[in-house]
Amino acid sequence: MVRIAICDDEEFVHDRIKALCLEYGRLNGTDLEIDDFFSGEELIAYDGEAEIIFMDIEMGNTSGLEVKNILQRRNETGLIIFVTSHTELMAEAFGRNVCGFITKPVCEKQFGKIFGQALNLKIRSNKVNVGDSQKHIYINSDEIIYIKSDHVYSEVVTGSQVYLMRKSLDKWEQELVDCGFYRISKSYIVNMANISRVTETVSMKNGEELHIPRGSKKKFASAYREYCKKMARFA
């Protein structure tokens, strides 16, 4: 089941997106749960967390750009697809978790392509076990900020907790290779979705700064640029 949020104050556009979502799900065997919002304020007040959000850029009192920034500050991980007739605003709309744009009037072919890409990205966010052989604890891989080597153990750091596991970084690297993780050094694997800034160090979303060995900086910078392009962070 994939939870979808549609936030658009134009009823016709809203209904069109909802109908296309349901048709896509029917044709591709994907179960969808759709929540309807007709203003930015309604979406901000929502106490759940959608996995994919269709959102108009220009809406009433609170624009889609403002909603995007609020969701990012709350560290929500839902992928955002902006729906707009104002293509001149697209450059400003790029950001973390923005994975595409659909122009109005909504075209079925363009919708299917962008929605399919977003679903594929969500599917790649795997459930991982951070427990032990006695007790399995599963979390979404996108909750992980980084993983640190601690001798024969590894520390899995999320926004709210640290899990200590008897598992090598080599095994973590193999498991998370397709989920947007990158090994920046012998001691650290980072979740590129949870990077705030890259300078001489890697600034993570929890405020920690991680060192990048000099010999790894160029290769990491290239990998991160490719990841950002894929996630539509840059124009």
Same domain as 141, residue 112: no
Number of folded domains that form the chain: 2
Condensed to tens digits (0 to 9), the pLDDT of residues 110-137 reads 999 999 988 877 765 667 888 877 788 8
pLDDT in tens, 157-203: 998 899 999 999 999 998 887 788 999 999 999 999 889 889 889 99
The reply to whether 235 falls in a domain is no
What pLDDT is recorded for position 203?
Answer: 93
- On whether residue 47 sits in a domain, the answer given is yes
Q: Among the three residues 123, 153, 188, which one is the final residue of a domain in this structure?
A: 123
For residue 112, the enclosing domain spans 2-123
Q: Same structural domain for residues 63 and 173?
A: no
Domain stops at, among 89, 123, 157: 123
Residues 61 and 161 in one domain: no
Give the up-direction half-sphere exposure of residue 128: CA atoms within 13 A in the CB hemisphere: 25
For residues 158 and 84, state if they share a domain: no
pTM (predicted TM-score)? 0.58
